[in-house]
Amino acid sequence: MRKLGVSLTDGETPWREQLRLIAETGFDYTFFDWEETEDTAARAAFARESGLLIDSLHAPFGRINSFWEDTQEGADYFALMLRIVDECAAADIHKLVMHTTVGNHPPATCELGFIRYRTMCDHAREKGVHICFENLEPFPHLHEIMAAVDDPFHGFCWDCGHNLCYTPHIDMMALYADRLMCLHLHDNYGVTQPGNIDFRDDQHMLPFDGVLDWDWVARKIAKSGYDGPLTFEYSSRTARRHADRPYREFLQTAMQRAIRLRDMVDKSNTES
C-alpha cells in the first residue's frame, strides 16, 4: 500500500509534539524546513524515534534569487546550500527540495547561477542527496535548470498547489513526470486575480477544500509511475476551514483526505 506523508506546519504546536501526533495519526512520512535555529540531525532522529520516515528536507528560499547574482550574498547563500547538503547527508536525509526563485521579480538566469547549481548538484550526488527542484512562479529558471542539470540522480518535486495558483497554463507533470522524486500536495482557489500572480493565492489548504481537480492530480501521479509516498504540505493556520481546530483534529481530517486521494490514485492505476 502506498505510504502517506505530511509536513510539519507553521502552527503553534511545538515540532516534537507535531511529529508525535503525525505518527499517532498514522502517517508514515514527514518532511520539514531547514532552519538556522534547529538541529537538522536532532529533528530527523526524533522523527524516526517517533516511528516516522523522512521524505525530504526543504531548503530555505528567502534569498534564493541571490544564486543568480555575482554578489557576496550570492556567494554566502551558495556556501549555505552546500552546508545544508552536508547536513542532509549527516542526518541520513536523501532528498533536498529547492526553489529556483522567489517572488515576482527574480534576476535573469545567468551562467554564474548555472555553475552554482551544477556544482551544488555534483556535491550532493557525492553525498548521496538528491536535489529536487520545485515548480513555483512562471519564470524560465526552473526549465533552464532542469535542462542544465542533466543528471538523472537529481529531479523534480511537483507541487500541485503551485501548479494551480502560479502556472495553471503549464502542465508541469507533462514536462517532468519522468524525473519526479517527491510530491507537495495541497489545495487552493487558483489565480484569484487574473493577470496578477500573487503568493497569497498559495493557501496550502487540505485537499478538496479548494478548486484543484484532484481526479486530474490522481491521474497524473498514477501515469507517472511514481511509487513514493503521497506527501502533503500545508499549514493548519492557512487551511481556512480548519484554522481554529486543535492540531490533533486537523491531522485526523488530513489523514482522511490523504486516504481519499490514495484511493483515487490506486483507482487510476487500475484503469490505466
Q: What integer pLDDT is reported at residue 12 of this predicted model?
A: 76
Arithmetic mean of pLDDT, 254-268: 96
Q: What is the pLDDT of residues 65-102, one digit of tens each?
A: 999 999 999 999 999 999 999 999 999 999 999 999 99
pTM here? 0.96
Q: What is the pLDDT of residues 125-158, one digit of tens each?
A: 999 999 999 999 888 999 999 999 989 999 999 9
Nearest to 168 by CA among 216, 226, 116: 216
Q: What is the pLDDT of residues 156-213, one digit of tens each?
A: 999 999 999 999 999 999 999 999 999 999 999 999 999 899 999 999 999 999 999 9
Domains of the chain: 4-271 (3.20.20.150)
**CA distances (Å), origin 237, targets 189, 196, 215, 246:** 16, 24, 26, 11
Q: What integer pLDDT is reported at residue 138 of this predicted model?
A: 84
For the chain, the straight-line distance linking the first and the last C-alpha, in angstroms and rounded, comes to 18
Nearest to 219 by CA among 163, 157, 270: 270
Residue 201 near residue 168, CB atoms below 8 Å: no
Cα four-point dihedral sign 56, 61, 64, 65: positive
What is the Cα–Cα distance from 257 to 189, expressed in whole angstroms? 17
The residues with which 130 forms a beta bridge, in sequence order, are 95
